[in-house]
């Protein structure tokens, strides 16, 4: 996820491994140069990016390796659905 509307770039990276965790986890987050690095690694690995300033703000309050709280499940599920659709389109 990214937010470029403000002067300082922000990014949060999520991972969901249903075999290891019940919910997605924050695996990286940062502002400025750190956010640039997160986005660079995502782009280099063909990880789809999704912009949602509100969700970014909420996820940015979580700690690294922290699981997503139930209150954010629906919003995060929408992000994963977006990623799934992008992934399916790339396979065609």
49 token code pair: 């990016």
CATH, residue 42: 3.40.1690.10
70 token code pair: 């139930």
Greater confidence (14 vs 90) lies with 14
Task: Confirm if 7 and 71 have CB atoms less than 8 A apart.
Answer: no
* pLDDT score of 62: 95
Domain count, the chain: 1
> Residue 46 sits in which domain range?
2-91
* pLDDT score of 3: 55
* pLDDT score of 57: 92
- 34-84: per-residue pLDDT in tens? 999 999 999 999 888 889 999 999 999 999 999 999 999 888 888 888 888
Residue 5 has pLDDT above 60, yes or no: no
How far is Cα 76 from Cα 23, in angstroms, rounded to an integer? 10
Model confidence, pTM: 0.79
């Amino acid at each position: 996820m990214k937010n470029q509307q403000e002067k300082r770039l922000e990014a949060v990276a999520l991972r969901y491994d249903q075999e290891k965790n019940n919910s997605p986890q924050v695996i990286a987050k940062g502002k400025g140069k750190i956010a640039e690095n997160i986005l660079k690694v995502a782009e280099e690995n063909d990880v789809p990016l999704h912009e949602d300033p509100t969700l970014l703000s909420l996820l940015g309050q979580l700690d690294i390796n922290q699981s997503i709280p139930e209150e954010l499940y629906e919003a995060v599920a929408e992000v994963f659905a977006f990623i799934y659709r992008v992934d399916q389109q790339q396979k065609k």
